[in-house]
Amino acid sequence: MTSPIAYKILVIDDHPETLNIIQRVLQQQGYNVLGARSGFRGLSLADSESPDLIMVDGMMPEMDGWEVCRRVRGTPKLADIPIIMFTAVDEAEQKLAGFDAGADDYLTKPTEPDELLERVRMILEDRTPKAAAETRLHEPLPEKKKPKPRESGGRVTNTISFPNSGSVTAVLGARGGAGATTLAINLAYSLATAGRDTTLVDLDLIQGHIALYLSQKHENGLNHVLTQPESRWREALPAEMSKYSEHLDLLLTHAQLASEPLPLRPEQTLSLLQPLIKPGHHLVIDCGHQLTDVVESVLSQANQIIVCLRPERVALANARLLLEHLHEIAPPETAVRAIIFDFSGLMAIPHESLEKFLNHPLTAILPVSPTEMNQAVNKSIPLVQLNPQAKTSLLIRQIAQQLIKA
């Protein structure tokens, strides 16, 4: 993280004492802090000062914090600025209203200084300070490679379909870091340990997260298949599979961050995956978080679609839109599930309120301990293998049993 002195934070609160306390706490950590005692003044400062973060009180006269959020998100120049809303109202509906208006996080007053600073740090952690970015405006830009023209794909017209035998579960993230890869790995492992023959497929041809997560050294996989003539893909597929356990096979991709992604059309994807669907066999596909034509082709043939999200504004808003879209494109017999990953342990929004916001039932809320998550990643094993009796492991195994019975 860049030194906090480079970050500019705008605090908007109509109570002078609260405003002074928050400013002082942030300034003691070296942040450049601006203060405003009304929503109108705050919007004016946001426009002129371009802060890296806005912190706004929800309950203010004339213009409340929710309206400030909406106006910030509705102004192109300001729309990408993260917002933390704080208020004395600790009600789920108010929090969801804040997320809906555009807040990225929500704090209930009174807030301990340590918690406030931790939330600020987490929001700013992956962002480059605007002041630092502006110093590089006149530096020469690196030469860009001319992009290759994209091959037109369009939606699949069901000329190719998966066989009815076997089970296909597609796991999709509402955004990056929502837990899709974690769930896909742990579901596949749980199915395999239940004695079900399972294949786990990574459809992310750029990131290759499953291979990284499980420290698989197999250098070929799906990437290598796609470099061969299409007529040989099915023949080449068995040699590119990795054996993880007695009942679990992996079809991996490996990170290609510096390369052009290999072209893959929707109908090619379905044709390639068809041989993996066998009677009594489970196919779990990590679809990443981008709803491409290739991903939509897989979703159109899946028995189960699982959307993963986190309890924060962007993921909740994306998930609501994604779930609406899935109900439009998924076959009537396809089960669409929503699962929340709570990596912080701080989620205080009731189950029912989240379902109302998403307009969709929740299959589960998975509380994932950051310590256990780090241990699993460092040991290159699934969470359910690290601690089989943890609440998260038990919930994932229950979901796997639901897939077996479906």
Threshold 0.85, pTM exceeds: no
For the chain, percent of residues with pLDDT exceeding 70: 84
Q: Answer for the pair 102, 90: CB distance below 8 angstroms, yes or no.
A: no
Task: Please tell me the predicted confidence (pLDDT) of residue 91.
Answer: 62
pLDDT digits (tens, 9 = 90+) for 215-229: 887 667 887 888 888
Q: CA 188 to CA 402: how far, in whole Å?
A: 13
* Per-residue pLDDT at 170: 96
Note the pLDDT tens digit of each residue in 301-357.
Answer: 899 999 999 988 788 888 999 999 998 888 888 999 999 999 876 676 778 888 888
Provide CATH code, domain 167-405. 3.40.50.300
In this prediction, residue 349 carries a pLDDT of 76
- Rounded to an integer, the average pLDDT of 181-204 is 93
134-154 burial: b if 16+ Cβ within 10 Å, else e: eeeeeeeeeeeeeeeeeeebe
Q: Which of 279, 227, 286, 232 is nearest to 256 (CA)?
A: 227
The whole-number pLDDT of residue 322 equals 93
Q: What is the DSSP letter of 141?
A: P
Query: Nearest-CA neighbor of 3 among 136, 114, 118, 128?
Result: 128
Which carries the bigger pLDDT value, residue 23 or residue 177? 23
3-state helix, strand, coil in the chain (%, to 5): 40, 15, 40
Map residue 340 onto helix, strand or coil.
Answer: strand
Calculate mean pLDDT across residues 362-377. Answer: 90
Say whether pLDDT at 258 is over 70.
Answer: no
Which residues contact residue 333 at a Cβ distance below 8 angstroms, ignoring those fewer than 6 apart?
303
Contact 143, 123 (CB under 8 A): no
Confidence (pLDDT) at 21: 92
β-sheet bridge partners, residue 282:
167, 198
Is the pLDDT at 122 greater than 70? The verdict is yes
φ and ψ at 309, to 5 degrees? Answer: -150, 165
Query: Once rounded to an integer, what is the mean pLDDT over residues 2-9?
Result: 70
Provide the pLDDT confidence category of residue 212 given band limits of 50, 70 and 90.
confident
Cα–Cα distances (Å) from 67 to 38, 86, 286, 349, 406, in that order, read 12, 14, 38, 21, 45
Predicted local distance difference test score (pLDDT) of residue 249: 93
Least confident of 132-136, 243-247, 262-266, 362-366: 132-136
CATH 3.40.50.300 maps onto the chain at: 167-405
Report whether 69 contacts 85 (CB < 8 A). Answer: yes
Q: What is the pLDDT of residue 346?
A: 65
User: What is the spatial distance between Cα 207 and Cα 211, in angstroms, rounded to a whole number?
Assistant: 9
Q: Give 245's strand partners.
A: 248
Cα 331 to Cα 70, 72, 151, 325, distances in angstroms: 35, 38, 26, 12
Residue that has been written with the tokens 């492991």 in this structure: 393
Rounded Cα–Cα distance for residues 406 and 401 (Å): 9
Q: Are the CB atoms for 81 and 53 separated by under 8 Å?
A: yes
Class of domain 4-125: alpha beta
How high is the pLDDT of residue 90? 58
Rounded Cα distance between 395 and 88, Å, is: 34
pLDDT digits (tens, 9 = 90+) for 385-400: 999 988 899 999 999 9
Confidence class of residue 169 from pLDDT cuts 50, 70 and 90? very high
* Averaged pLDDT of the chain: 83
* Lowest mean per-residue pLDDT among 12-21, 165-174, 218-227, 386-395: 218-227
**Where does CATH 3.40.50.2300 sit in the chain?**
4-125
